[in-house]
Amino acid sequence: MSFTIQNVLIPVEQSYSTVDVQIIDHHIRAIEPNLEVVGTAVNGENKLLLPGFVNAHTHSSEMWQRGIIPPTPLELWLAELYDFAPLEPEQVYLSALGTAVETLLSGGTSLVDHLVLIPGKELETIAAAVRAYQEIGIRAFIGPLIQDESLTQGIPNGGIEREHETYLRSTEATLELMQEVVERFHNPEAGVNILVAPTGIQLCSDALFEGCIELSDRYNLCRHSHLLETKAQQKLAQEKYGCSALEHLKRIGYLSDRTSLAHCVWLSDADIAILAEMRSTVVHNPLSNLRLGSGIAPILKYRQAGVNVAFGCDGAASNDSQDLLEAIKMGSILHNITDTDYHHWITPRQSVEIASLGGAQGLNMADELGSLSVGKKADLVLYNLKSLSLLPRTDPIGLLILGRPTNTVDSIWVNGKQVVAEGNVLTIDVDALRQELFERSQWSINRQSHTLSEIEAHYRSVMGLSPQTPKIHS
């Protein structure tokens, strides 16, 4: 499995250079002009080579509900999402493939799937996602989404006594399940990594977090959670802990340099200092934060404090796509309105670094992934600089990040194995996937979420919204 990409453009310092890149045994072995050809020769002329990006937070099975959930904040959106979640592992397999295809064709070679588990079919759900990612050949980080509190507990009480249902699985059973998942599926050599992924402070007890910390330490697993995505969660943390969520997570030992935290919209300056101190990673999901009205994460402040940042699409029901380049563009330029000092704004080259090295660092793999460096694993994306959306010729990375790139990915290698050539996925039949997604779904209008209507009045009251029952489904 050796090949040599010839005469390809790569970014260097503040410029570009035309080089040959030798890949031997899954790794980058040399980057220099005029290398001897080892293995297959690949023509890199008029193409740009970049390290693969990381889609650092998604929920693959949300693909079945993209485009349908009405404009609502997270807490109500979640109620509707779970009312209509897919119940068959085969659907999970197909949406994992779909998520992987869209991630690949927008420059991603790794993804973090915070995977929603089908109740009673938890292991089958994970097996289905693993099968999909192994078949297509993307590097997968699967964090089975676990919680031990029911959905209504994720909304602050606001001083009102409320009853909650017991969650369908006990803390102990969930931790036992996770141990089995790790033993069965965690296989970094094969490109399948299991993460411990308690969904977040809003739905998890300390006992669950502590069990996850123990598993993470025992099996050397990364940790992944949502954190302070909404203002409601900020209020909830105060109710639940009497301090900020960050202070609490630090106290129980959950924060570390292999902890990545999706969203981080509602952090104070003191919280940001904690993140910097604990060297945890923020996963920025700008499209989801806009879609759900969650807010704008203070990404420029994170960068100034030295906090590592990565980009994610978030699940396809709150985005409603898995186009990583779109998330990167939005996640970069969005912050220009938050700081008048344009010296702090994110440049296209910085965006590339966040998307690649930032993603790798959040997964504790910065030594192996995330840059074009000799010795690193060959997770590479070759962009066609003659595609219409990258013309006329100006700055290739500027065009890729600030433009609206379509059909620009020419080739992709993951761990040195080619998975895309001439813009086509080689490893699976994408036409067959399209057909399956079509046949297993139907045009759907006017569906009603009963959970949403049950919790909406309380949500409006606790968030200080006018009490009249609005018509979401009008």
For tokens 């997570």, the residue is: 249
Q: How far apart are CA 143 and CA 415, in angstroms?
A: 21
- Restricted to residues 131-170, the positions that interact with Zn ion (CB under 5 A) are none
Residue 467 CB, nearest approach to Zn ion (Å): 29
CB closer to Zn ion, 153 vs 411:
153
For tokens 């919280």, the residue is: 271
CB closer to Zn ion, 197 vs 414:
197
CB closer to Zn ion, 229 vs 379:
229
Residue 294 CB, nearest approach to Zn ion (Å): 11
- Restricted to residues 282-321, the positions that interact with Zn ion (CB under 5 A) are 314
Angle at the Cα of 110 from the Cα atoms of 107 and 115, rounded to 5 degrees: 120
Residue 225 CB, nearest approach to Zn ion (Å): 9
| Number of residue whose CB is nearest Zn ion | 314
- Restricted to residues 314-373, the positions that interact with Zn ion (CB under 5 A) are 314
CB closer to Zn ion, 19 vs 264:
264
Question: In angstroms, what CA-CA distances link 459 with 165, 206, 465?
Answer: 17, 24, 8
Q: Where are the beta strands (DSSP E) in 235-324?
A: 259-263, 281-284, 308-311
For residue 64, give every residue at least 6 positions away whose Cβ sits within 8 Å of its Cβ, in sequence order, or none.
84, 85, 86, 91, 95, 441
Residue 291 CB, nearest approach to Zn ion (Å): 12
Question: In angstroms, what CA-CA distances link 43 with 7, 48, 389?
Answer: 7, 11, 21
Question: In angstroms, what CA-CA distances link 229 with 154, 199, 309?
Answer: 12, 11, 15
CB closer to Zn ion, 62 vs 271:
62
* Segment holding 176, helix H or strand E: helix 171-185
CB closer to Zn ion, 115 vs 433:
115
Residue 184 CB, nearest approach to Zn ion (Å): 24
Residue 215 CB, nearest approach to Zn ion (Å): 21
CB closer to Zn ion, 102 vs 314:
314
Tokens representing residue 53 in the block: 């990006």
Local structure of 431: helix, strand or coil: helix
- Restricted to residues 236-265, the positions that interact with Zn ion (CB under 5 A) are none
Residue 114 CB, nearest approach to Zn ion (Å): 6
Q: How far apart are CA 12 and CA 17, in angstroms?
A: 6
How many residues bind to Zn ion according to rule CB under 5 A? Answer: 1
Binding site for Zn ion (CB under 5 A): 314
